Amino acid sequence: MSTLALTGIGELSTHAPELGVLHDAALVVEAGRVAWVGPSRQAPAADTAYDLGGRAVVPGFVDSHSHLMFAGDRAEEFAARMTGTPYSAGGIRTTVAATRAASDEQLAANLARLVDEMRRQGTTTVEVKSGYGLTVADEARALAIARHVTDETTFLGAHVVPPEHADDPAAYVDLVTGPMLEACAPHARWVDVFCERGAFDEDQARTILQAGAAKGLRGRLHANQLGHGPGVRLACELGLVAVDHCTYLSDEDVSALRETGTTATLLPGVEFSTRSPYPDARRLLDAGVHVAIASDCNPGSCYTSSIPLCIALAVREMGMSPAEALAAATTGGARALGRSDIGHLGVGARADLAVLDAPSYLHLAYRPGVPLVAQTWVAGRRA
Ligand SMILES: [Zn+2]
C-alpha cells in the first residue's frame, strides 16, 4: 500500500484531543486514512509528497443536516419574506409540487450540483434527507438517489402533511409508518420528524420514530425551531443521537440535553435567511451540552450550502469562539451522525480535510464570505 505525505502545513487543526493545533506540520495518508500526523521535521518517509505551501488545514466539514433532494427554487418567497412576510412551514408544499414533477435525472443532477458546491467549500460528509416527495414512490426514489452520494440518508416522510392528506393527518401518519417506511427503510440510515406546531406533534413524532427504530433506522428530530415545544425532551427521552434547530429551549430542555448527551445541532443559516432570533449556543456550551453546526441547506428556509458561512454566523451571532465553531462543524457534526472516523485528523481517521488559502482556521470566521477553501480531500484524494 503506497503512502502520501502532505507537507508544508502552516497550521493543522487536528481536532484530535491529544494533538490539538500543530504548526509546521505534516500528515501521512495510507489507504485513505491518516497514518501519521506531527511536526514536519519528524515526518516519516512516504512514497509521494505533496506540499501545501504553508496553508492552514482543518478536518473536512461534517454537514449533519441538509435537504438536497428537491427540485425548483423559492427565491420569490425569500424576497417576500425579506420585505415582511413571515415564514411558515407551509412553504414546503411549493417544493413538494416541484419535486414530484421532476424526473429522477433532474433530481440526481440537482443533488450532484449541490454536493459539488459543498465539496468546493470544504464539506466532506453530508447527511441528505428526503421529505419533498411525501408519497411512497417519491420518498423512496429520493432516498435511492441520495444513497449514491452519501451513506447518511434520512427518511423524512414526516416533513409536513401533504395537501392531499390535509383533512386526515392521522391517515398520513399511518402511511408514513406503514408502506412509506417499508419502501424507504432499505435506502435510509436515519428517520426524522419535523416536530413543530403546524407539522407533527409529540405523539405523532414518537410513533414515527418508534416505527422507524423497529425497521432499524436511528432517529433524529427537527424541534424547537419556531417556538418552545416538546421535541427536544422527546429526543432526549428516546436517546436520539441528535436533535436539530434548538432555538427555543427551556432550562429543562438544556438539562435533558446535558444529561442524555444528545447533540444539539444548530443551524444558523436558517435564522440568517429567515431573519429570526439565533439559538443561544453560549448557554448550551456553558451547560456542557454537545453542540454541532450544520447548513440545513434547503430551498425554503436556508439555501446556503456553506459551512464556512455557518461558522462565521455562529461566531458573530451565537457567542461561539472560532475554535468552538470549527469543532461544532467537524467533531460536532460527526458526533451528531454517530461517527468517530470523521470530523478529526487523528491517526486512523478518514483523511478528509479542507486546505485553506489562509494562515489559520481563524480566517473562516474572520473573513466571512471569502472563498478560502483552496482544496478539499476525501479519503486521501483531491475531491
Ligand atoms: Zn431541516
**Which of 378, 291, 290, 381 is CA-nearest to residue 342?**
378
Q: How far is the CA of 185 from the centre of ligand 1 (A)?
A: 19
Give CA–CA dist 54/326, Å, rounded: 20
* Distance (Å) from CA 191 to ligand 1 centroid: 12
Distance 362 CA to ligand 1 centre (A): 27
Distance 220 CA to ligand 1 centre (A): 11
38 C-alpha to ligand 1 centroid (Å):
38
For position 84, what pLDDT does the model report?
Answer: 84
Ligand 1: centre distance to CA 222 (Å): 6
Q: How far does Cα 151 stand from its chain's mean position?
A: 13
DSSP characters over 109-136: HHHHHHHHHHHHTTEEEE-EE--S--SH
From ligand 1's centre to the CA of 33, what distance in Å?
A: 31
Residue 88 is predicted with a pLDDT of 57
Q: For residue 12, how many other CB atoms are within 10 A of its CB?
A: 29
Structure confidence at residue 101 as a pLDDT band (50, 70, 90): very high
Q: Distance (Å, rounded) from C-alpha 81 to C-alpha 136?
A: 32
Dihedrals φ, ψ of 30, to 5°?
-140, 130
Q: Which three cell numbers stand for residue 101?
A: 414533477
pLDDT top residue among 201 and 88: 201
pLDDT digits (tens, 9 = 90+) for 42-100: 999 999 999 999 999 999 999 999 999 999 999 988 988 898 876 554 578 889 999 99
Residue 86, pLDDT score: 66
Output the pLDDT for position 321: 97
At residue 115, what is the residue type? V
Q: Give the Å distance between the CA of 190 and the centre of ligand 1.
A: 13
pLDDT tens for 274-290 read 999 999 999 999 999 99
Cα–ligand 1 centroid distance for 345 (angstroms): 28
Cα 117 from chain centroid (whole Å) = 14
Distance (Å) from CA 212 to ligand 1 centroid: 18
pLDDT tens, position by position, 44-56: 999 999 999 999 9
| Contact partners, residue 164, CB within 8 Å, separation at least 6 | none
pLDDT of residue 76: 86
pLDDT band, very low/low/confident/very high, at 23 (cuts 50, 70, 90) = very high
For range 312-331, the mean pLDDT: 97
Percent of the chain with pLDDT strictly greater than 70: 99
Q: Please tell me the distance between residue 250's alpha carbon and the centre of ligand 1 in angstroms.
A: 21
Distance (angstroms) between ligand 1 centre and the Cα of 246 equals 12
Can you give the pLDDT at residue 91?
A: 79
Does residue 128 contact residue 153 with C-beta atoms inside 8 Å?
yes
Q: How far apart are CA 310 and CA 197, in angstroms?
A: 26
The answer on pLDDT for 152 being more than 60 is yes
CA of 209 to the centre of ligand 1 (A): 16
Ligand 1 centroid from CA 223, angstroms: 9
Segments of the chain assigned E as strands: 3-13, 21-30, 33-39, 48-51, 56-59, 61-63, 123-126, 128-129, 153-158, 190-195, 218-223, 242-245, 263-266, 291-293, 353-356, 373-378, 381-382
Cα(66) to centroid of ligand 1, in Å? 6
**Residue with cell string 425579506:** 82
Could you give the C-alpha distances from 337 to 8, 38, 187, 289, 290, in angstroms and in order? Answer: 32, 27, 16, 16, 12
Residue 109 to residue 116: CA distance in whole angstroms: 11
- Work out the pLDDT band at 112, boundaries 50, 70, 90: very high
Burial 152-181, CB ≥16 within 10 A → b, else e: bbbbbbbbbbbeebeeeeeebbebbbeebb
Q: CA separation (Å) from 176 to 189, 207, 211, 212?
A: 16, 10, 9, 9
Q: Is the dihedral of CA 42, 24, 19, 309 positive or negative?
A: negative
Q: What average pLDDT does the chain have?
A: 96
Reported confidence tier of residue 150, pLDDT bands at 50, 70, 90:
very high
How far from 251 is each of 129, 197, 233, 379, CA to CA, in Å? Answer: 30, 20, 11, 41
Q: Measured in angstroms, how far is the CA atom of residue 128 from the centroid of ligand 1?
A: 10
pLDDT reported for residue 193: 98
Measured CA angle at 19 (ends 16, 24), to 5 deg: 120
Residues 363-380 have a mean pLDDT of 98
CA of 67 to the centre of ligand 1 (A): 6
Residue 28 is predicted with a pLDDT of 98
Q: State the pLDDT at residue 94.
A: 87
Residue 87: per-residue pLDDT: 55
Q: What pLDDT digit, counting tens, does each position of 220-260 carry?
A: 999 999 999 999 999 999 999 999 999 999 999 999 999 99
Ligand 1 centre to CA of 243 (Å) is: 11
CA distances from 249 to 14, 258, 287 (A): 32, 13, 13
Single pTM value for the model: 0.97
The rounded Å distance from CA 65 to ligand 1 centre is: 6
Work out the average pLDDT over 184-199.
Answer: 96
Beta partners for residue 190, in sequence order: 154, 218
